[in-house]
Structure 1
Amino acid sequence: MATKIGIRQLVEFVLRSGDLNESKNSQNTALEGARIHRQLQKSRPVDYESEVYLKKEVSMNGQDYLISGRADGIQVNDDEAIIEEIKTSDQEFKDISDNTMELYWGQVKVYGYLLLQDEVKFDSVKLQLTYFQVTTAKATTTEKSFTRDELEEFFQSLIDEYEYWLKLRSDLRNLRNDSISELPFPFPEFRTGQHEMAGAVYKTICLKKRLFVEAPTGTGKTISTLFPAIKAMGEDRIERLFYLTAKQSTRHVAEETVEMMAKDGLRIKCITLTAKDQIRFPEERDLLPEENPFMVGYYDRLKPALNDLLQHEDIITRAVIEKYARKHMVDPFEFSLDTSLFCDVIVCDYNYLFDPLVYLQRFFTEEDPDNFFLIDEVHNLVSRSRDMYSATASNLPIKDLLKQAQEQHTKAADDFQKQLKKVRKVYNSIKSNMMDENKVDEISDESPDDLLKAMSKFNDFMTDWMQQQKPSDFLTATRDYFFETLTFVKIGGFYDKTYKTRIVLDGPTVVVKELCLDPSNFLNQSLQLGSGAVLFSATLSPMNYYQNVLGGEDNSLAYQLPSPFPPENQDILVTQYIRTTYAQRANSEPNIVASLHSLIEAKTGNYLFFFPSYGYLRQVKSAFEAKYPDIKTVTQETSMDAVARTEFLEQFHEDPDETLVGFCVLGGIFSEGIDLRGNRLIGVAIISVGLPGLSEENNLIRGYYDENNGQGFAYAYQLPGMNNVLQAAGRLIRSSHDVGVILLLDQRFASYRYTQLFPPHWRNYQRIPSLDRLTSTINDFWNQMETKSDENKTDS
């Protein structure tokens, strides 16, 4: 099978030179660009054909390469052949750099060459470049004609220049595939469920489907997905694998898993992408691109840097990128993106695929069947994706910005004031209308069009204005507000029936929110950019809910694995005598404190108590410590950096001499992604069913799903809360030797509404009617575990 190389990728790699000029403040989203393309294409003559796929196989170094792409428009008649390339941007046509124009023409010249391979009756072709300036809706058209010989010479020069990189890619690919064919599973045997999961992943790749997998803690999800996917890659079923995660810790696990296979002979290029604000060198901060030594001349140094890195490194972590970026004086973030084009496995955050504002344009501007997605801890994507497609804007910064502008005493600042006041006028109108109707909170199905129009015009002005200003605190402040309005306008472009607009008055402040209640269609469109995907987590119950909210198609597959650990190693206890609804919290507090003490009194060890909010945590913790002051406690704080988190977890020692209780929040940093194996943790208590707090916005989600499927409460409250519960409970049993007690302190857990959501390895749960029964049950469990341990020692 020929290796696919995109025409744009080929042209940009060979012809790009000079400085790295980041796309400054562009409002030109992919959605808007596609709309403009369609608009222009529809205005063309009837014999004009849009989105024409052109390709040519090139054989080099014993390997076939498919050079391919889509021409925006082709018009062929008896007299001539015309190819049109449409480009959209915010810049004026006269301000486009020479190198950018060279890239534009280079792309359409390749299309011209490929067309003449098919249209043999023509000796030349007319190339038309149509440039559309988004901010003014002005189209500029330029034309050039080229002969067959001229285009053939140009194409061959590209291939000759790219030959080294083609050979390098071919050599890397052959080395990769040879190593994969001999690659063993990196453990002596498969755990329970691992072989089945690996098989399901492999079949999904072969069938080009989507697979949702619930694989309980201990299954070994990372190796069970990466190993079969890499095996499929070695058979040329896919060319590029994206491992998408929500947390840095899971990205490290993916890196370590690839490194483990590398020790068994795997030769694969694996890169981890780090967010721009984290990986940029300190000396780059606050520098304009034209002043940044890592950006000036970037493309002149890029190819030597790439060659050096690819010849010497396989597992390309942040530290590796930084090392070579410093050595060759290239910006580390952009260098990592350029390096990723040569990598087989790309480990990155969800937003690189799903976020409409920051997705990887190098890979995700069009569908590519060579891409495949592994999406880890996918339950996190539900709330993350709503945030990605929602936006908030406020008039709060305007007053201070106008004051700062007045203090500048310059014409530029006066111009800025004039434009910003137009935005303020719309906010004032919104406020006046709300006050006339005696409202402080309004929900609407309608897009905030007046505000979007005003912000869009303000953004048009700011795009040019900021480029003319010198660095200053005032410019920084205006830029921050510009990005807020820019985001709001971009998200407004997605507004459809899944959105609501919420306007809130808080004194003089007007807050306008574009709320995406159901991003499933947007997620589905992102997933269609590859041949398939595996979306997996330890908690994906009920499966149909996650398939619905995460863009699962009707034909997507579902697979649920059993826990690999003995169910008798954990006691699941549901207290029927405790109510934690808000109205009952004060009355139930003594019983909760006593029940928590019963849990820890039976055996010295480490425990975690999880609460639905910091307020409830503090309430119960205060009562607990007042009654049992001698028990050592540690508490999750509202904002904890990496050092604080590590210090918290390091207090959970093996074989402790005294009991330690950690007070934590459901859905927080300690309710998932932490691994306290062995007897570093022997008990987890979960207080309440974890419902998200009642709010107007959660109620909007409830109303939306009530209307669409009649399950509004479940989708907005119950199921997100239950996922937090299952994640927190999953901290307890992390290996086949772990034992402990899970205590569910809320009588609602005993109702069918919740027991139907219990995973299979909770099937032995017990309903506990009283505090006395709780104490005796916990004591019985630990006595059984001690007896079992003694028997095992005797047998051995």
Structure 2
Amino acid sequence: MATKIGIRQLVEFVLRQGDLNDVKNSQNTALAGAKIHRQLQSTRGSDYASEVYLKTTVTMNNADYIISGRADGLQLNADGALIEEIKTSDQDFTDLSTNTLTLYWGQVKVYGYLLLQAHPDLDQVTLQLTYFQVSTEKITKTQKVLHRAELDQFFKDLITEYEYWLTLRADLRHRRNTSIEPLAFPFPAFRTGQRELAAAVYKTIRLQKRLFVEAPTGTGKTISTLFPAIKAMGQDLIERLFYLTAKQSTRRVAEEAVALMANKGLRLKSITLTAKDQIRFAEEQDLLPEENPFMVGYYDRLKPALKDLLTHEDQLTRPVIEQYARKHTVDPFEFSLDASLFCDLVICDYNYLFDPLVYLQRFFSEDDDDNFFLVDEAHNLVSRSRAMYSAEISDQPIAGLLKLAKPDQTQPSDDLQQALKKVRRGFTRLTKSLFEEDATEQVLPDPPERLLPVLRKFNEFVTDWLTTQKPSPLVDAVRDYFFASLTFVKIGDWYDGSYQTRYVYTEHHLTVKQLCLDPSDFLHRSLSLGAGAVLFSATLSPMSYYQRVLGGEANSLAYQLPSPFPPKHQAILVTRYVQTTYHQRAHNLDRIVASLSALVTGKRGHYLVFFPSYGYLHQVQAAFTQAHPELTTVAQAPTMAAAERQAFLDRFNIDDDQPLVGFCVLGGIFSEGIDLRGRRLIGVAIVSVGLPGINAETNLIRDYYDHQNGQGFAYAYQLPGMNNVLQAAGRLIRSQTDTGIILLLDQRFASRRYTALFPPHWQYYQTIESLPQLTATIANFWHQTEVPDENQTHETT
């Protein structure tokens, strides 16, 4: 199978030179750019064809490479041939750098070459660069007429320059596939469900489908998805794999799985992408690009740096990227993006595929069946994607900005003050048009059209203003507000029937929110950029809900695995005698404390108790510690630094049976992604069914789905809450030898509405009618269960 190389990728890699400059923040999104393209293309004549696919095959080093791309426009008639390339940006055409224009013309020259290859009767072609300045809607057209010989030489030089990298790719691919062929599953045996999951993933790749998988804790989801995907890669079914996660901890698990297979002989290039603000060197902070030694001359040092990195390393983790970036004096974030083009596996956050503002354009500017996606902990994508496609802005910061921008002799800012005052007036006019004296909120289905033009003009001003400023508190504050404004305007491009605009007026300030209630169509578009995807989690029940909200309702497969652990190792106890609704909490406090006492005194050890809010947590914790001053307790705080989070976990990582009770919140940092095995955790209690707090925005989601399918309460409240419950319960029973108790303290858990949502491995749950019955049931469970001192099962990677 020939390797595909995009024209833009080829041209940019070969022709870029000089400094790395942070791209000017533009209001132009890919969606807006596509609209402009269509608008311009629609004005052309009847002999004009849009989005014309052109390709050629180049043979080098005994391997074939398909050089391909889509020309924006092609016109063939009696007068000859014309290729059009359309570019959009905020900058004036005269302000474009020489290197930028070189890249633009480089792309259209390749299209011209490919056109003449397809039409041997033509000897020349007119190349047209059409530049649309978004901020002014000014169109600049420039043309060049090039003959076949000129374009042949240009393309030959381009490929000759790229030959080393093509050959390197071919060698790396051959080495990769040769190592994959004999690669065996890296454990002595498959755990229950692993072989079936691996087979399902492989078939999904082969059929180019989308698969949703619920694989309970302990299945070993990471290795069970990566291993078959890599085997499929070795058979040339896919060329590049993206492992997308929500948390750093799960990215580390993926790295560990790759390292495990590398120890068994796998030779594959993998890279972990780290957010720009986390990986950039400390000495780069607060430097202008033209003063930053890691950016000045970046492209002149890039290729030697890549050659060094790719020659000596396979697993390009953050420390490796930083090591080589410092060695060659290149910016580590941009270096990681450039290195990713040569990698077989890219481990990264969800936003690199799904976020409309920061996705990887070098991979996802168009569909590519060589890509495949593995989406880990997919339940997190529901709320994350809503946030990605939503935006809000307020006039509240403007007063502080005006105060900072007050002109003085060292930094005159009259123009900035005027720009800020125009934004404030825009908010004021909007407020007067929406609100009576006593009104505080409005929700409308239309985008905030009165505010968007005001913010666009502000963004245009600040884009230019920032280029003339040196670092200062004013610049930092303006930049923060500018980014919020820029995001708000860009999200406005995506506004459709899945949105509502919420206007909130409090304390003389207006906040405007563009709320994406249903991002499923956007997720579907992103997932369609590859050949297929596997979205997996320990909790994807009910499957139909996740298929609906994650963009896979019409064309996806579903697969649920059983728990690999014996059901008898876990007791699921549902108390009918406890009510935790808001109005009943005070009346049931003594019952909750007594039930928790029965749990933690039934056997000495470590326990976690989860609550729907910090307020409820503190209320119960205070009553519990008063009743049991002899027991050690620790509580999650609303904000915890990394060291504080680790200190909390370290209390549980001691492998002993000393009494310890941790109080946490559902959906928080300790309710998923932590692995406490054996005696480190022997019981979990969950207080309430975990419904999100009732609020106006969640009610909008409820109303939207009520209109869509009549399941508004379930989609907005019940199912997200139940997922938090299942994730928290999943902290217990992490290996074949673990045993423990899950105590569900809310009578609603016993209703059909909730028992229908219990996973299959909860089928032996017991309902408890009274505190004495609970005490006896706990005692009986521990009497019948032995907890071994050592855990001798393989990792759950």
Partner SS for 2:84: strand
Q: Tell me how far 1:462 sits from its aligned partner.
A: 1.7
| 2:700 counterpart letter in structure 1 | L
The separation in 1 between residues aligned to 2:692 and 2:458, in whole angstroms, is 37
1:300 aligns with 2:320: no
User: Residue type matched to 1:17 in 2?
Assistant: Q
Matches of residues 759-770 of structure 1 in structure 2 within 5 Å? Answer: 759-770=759-770
Read off the aligned partner of 1:510 and give its amino acid letter.
L
Give 1:654 deviation, angstroms. Answer: 5.0
Letter in 2 for 1:54: L
Counting only pairs closer than 5 Å after superposition, residues 201-212 of structure 1 correspond to structure 2 as 201-212=201-212
The aligned counterpart of 1:363 is: 363
**How many angstroms apart in 1 are the aligned matches of 2:731 and 2:512?**
39
Aligned to 1:505: 505
C-alpha distance in 2, partners of 1:262/1:777? 47
* Cα distance in 1, alignment partners of residues 319 and 714 from structure 2: 44
Q: CA deviation at 1:412?
A: 6.0
The 5 Å alignment of 1:268-347 reads 268-347=268-347
Q: Is residue 758 of structure 1 aligned with residue 763 of structure 2? A: no
Say whether the 8 Å CA contact 2:544–2:553 is kept in structure 1: no
Name the counterpart of 1:581: 581
- Per the alignment, residue 744 of structure 1 pairs with 744
Q: Is this contact kept in 1: 2:407–2:414, CA < 8 A?
A: no
Does 2:26 match 1:3? Answer: no
Counterpart of 2:643 in structure 1 is: 643
| One-letter identity of the residue aligned with 1:561 | L
CA distance in 2, matches of 1:566, 1:645: 31
Supply the distance in 1 between the matched residues of 2:474 and 2:649 (Cα, whole angstroms): 43
The amino acid that maps onto 2:664 is C
Are 2:482 and 1:459 aligned? Answer: no
Match of 1:794 in 2: none
Cα deviation per residue 1:742-769 (whole Å; 9 max; x = unaligned)? 0000000000000000000000000000
1:586-629 CA deviation, whole Å, 9 max, x = no partner?
A: 00000000000000111101000000000000000000001111
Deviation at 1:24, TM superposition (A): 1.5
**Partner in structure 2 of residue 414 of structure 1:** 414
Describe how 1:51-200 pairs up with structure 2 within 5 A.
Answer: 51-200=51-200
- Cα distance in structure 1, aligned partners of 2:385 and 2:631: 41
The Cα offsets for residues 327-378 of structure 1, whole Å up to 9 and x where unpaired, read as: 0000000000000000000000000000111111111111111110000000
Q: What fraction of aligned residue pairs are identical, expressed as a percent?
A: 69
SS at match of 2:362: coil
8 Å CA contact 1:609, 1:684 repeated in 2 = yes
Looking at structure 2, the residues matched to 657 and 401 of structure 1 have their Cα atoms a distance apart, in angstroms, of 56
Q: Counterpart of 2:354 in structure 1: which amino acid?
A: F
Correspondence for 2:676:
676
CA deviation after TM superposition for structure 1 residue 417, in Å: 1.9
Q: Does the CA-based 8 Å contact 1:604-1:656 persist in structure 2? A: no
Q: Distance in 2 between matches of 1:321 and 1:583?
A: 54
- Indicate conservation of the 8 Å contact 2:390/2:513, yes or no: yes
Partner of 2:487 in structure 1?
Answer: 487
**CA-to-aligned-CA distance 1:284-327 (integer Å, 9 cap, x gap):** 00111111000000000000000000000000100000000000
State the alpha-carbon separation in 2 of the partners of residues 140 and 594 from structure 1: 76
Partners in 2 of 1:400 and 1:658 — Cα distance?
53
Which residues of structure 2 form unaligned runs of 5+? 790-797
Q: How far did residue 441 of structure 1 move?
A: 1.1
Offset, 1:656:
2.4
Q: 1:247-646 to 2 correspondence within 5 Å?
A: 247-408=247-408, 413-436=413-436, 438-646=438-646
Query: Structure 2-normalised TM-score?
Result: 0.98
Q: Is the 8 A contact 1:606 1:680 kept in 2?
A: yes
SS class of match (2:155): helix
Aligned to 2:701: 701
Q: Which amino acid aligns with 2:703?
A: G
2:407 alignment partner, SS class = helix
Contact 2:657-2:679 within 8 A present in 1 as well: no
Q: Greater shift after overlay, 309-318 or 441-450?
A: 441-450
Q: Which runs of 5 or more structure 1 residues have no equivalent in the other structure?
A: 791-796
- Structure 1 residues 653, 360: CA separation in 2 closer, same or farther (over 3 Å shift)? closer
SS of the counterpart of 2:511?
Answer: strand
Equivalents in 2 of 1:418, 1:595: separation in Å?
A: 63
Identify which range, 462-471 or 728-737, moves more after superposition: 462-471
What is the CA–CA distance in structure 1 between the aligned matches of 2:281 and 2:334, rounded to whole Å? 12
**Structure 1 CA distance for aligned equivalents of residues 67 and 652 of structure 2:** 57
Say whether the 8 Å CA contact 1:325–1:335 is kept in structure 2.
yes
Aligned residues of 1:57 and 1:64 also touching (Cα < 8 A) = yes
State whether structure 2 residue 717 is matched by structure 1 residue 725.
Answer: no
Task: Verify the 8 A CA contact 2:595 2:774 in the aligned structure 1.
Answer: yes
Tell me the matched-pair count: 790
Per the TM alignment, residue 28 of structure 1 is displaced from its structure 2 partner at its CA by: 1.1
The 10-residue stretch of structure 1 (398-407 or 554-563) with the greater mean CA deviation from structure 2:
398-407
* 8 Å Cα contact 1:605-1:655 kept in structure 2: no
SS at match of 2:5: strand
Report how far residue 553 of structure 1 moved.
Answer: 4.0
Partner AA of 2:503 in structure 1:
I
SS at match of 2:785: helix
Task: State how far apart, in whole Å, the 2-side matches of 1:245 and 1:655 are.
Answer: 29
What amino acid sits opposite 2:165 in the alignment?
W
- Which letter maps to 1:237? L
Q: Distance in 2 between matches of 1:527 and 1:265?
A: 31
Going from structure 1 to structure 2, the CA distance change for 1:132 and 1:412 (only over 3 Å counts) comes to farther
State the one-letter code of the partner of 2:215: A
**Using a 3 Å threshold, how does the CA distance of structure 1 residues 653 and 302 change in structure 2: closer, same or farther?**
closer
Looking at structure 2, the residues matched to 769 and 36 of structure 1 have their Cα atoms a distance apart, in angstroms, of 65
Is the contact made by 2:606 and 2:657 (CA closer than 8 Å) also made in structure 1? no
> How far is 1:380 from its partner?
0.3
Deviating more after overlay: 434-443 vs 186-195: 434-443
What is the one-letter code of the residue matched to 2:466?
M
- AA of the residue aligned to 2:677: R
- Say which SS state the counterpart of residue 406 (structure 1) adopts: coil
Q: Where in structure 2 are the equivalents of 1:11-22 lying within 5 Å?
A: 11-22=11-22
Which amino acid in the other structure matches residue 375 of structure 2? I
CA contact (8 A) 1:219 1:563 kept: yes
- Counterpart of 1:238 in structure 2 is 238
Deviation at residue 476 of structure 1 after TM alignment: 2.0
Alpha-carbon displacement from aligned partner over 1:85-143 (angstroms, at most 9, x marks no partner): 00111111111111111111111001000000111111111100011111110010000
Alpha-carbon distance in structure 2 between the residues aligned to 1:748 and 1:334: 51
Letter of the 1:761 partner, please give it.
Answer: H
Q: Do the aligned residues in 1 keep the contact of 2:612 with 2:690 (CA within 8 Å)?
A: yes
CA distance 1:749–1:269, change in 2 (3 Å) = same
**Cα distance in structure 2, aligned partners of 1:217 and 1:167:** 43
Q: Which amino acid aligns with 2:307?
A: N
**1:239 & 1:517 partners in 2: Cα distance?**
35
Contact 2:25 2:463 in 1 (8 A): yes
CA distance in 2, matches of 1:329, 1:185: 40
Distance change in 2, residues 1:409/1:397 (3 Å): farther
Q: Are the equivalent residues in 1 in contact too, given 2:245–2:251 (CA < 8 A)?
A: yes
Per mean C-alpha deviation after superposition, the further-off stretch among 641-650 and 425-434 is 425-434
2:118 partner letter: D
* 1:793 paired residue number: none
Give 1:78 shift: 1.9
Distance in structure 1 (CA, Å) of the matches to 2:347 and 2:657: 41
Deviations 1:718-743 (A, max 9, x none): 00000000000000100010000000
Report if aligned partners of 1:434, 1:440 keep a CA contact under 8 Å in 2. Answer: no
2 CA distance for matches of 1:308 and 1:699? 55
CA distance in 2, matches of 1:435, 1:119: 64
- Report Cα offsets for 1:168-198 as digits up to 9, x if no partner: 0000000000000011110111000000000
Contact 1:524 1:553 in 2 (8 A): no
In structure 2, what residue type is equivalent to 1:278?
Q
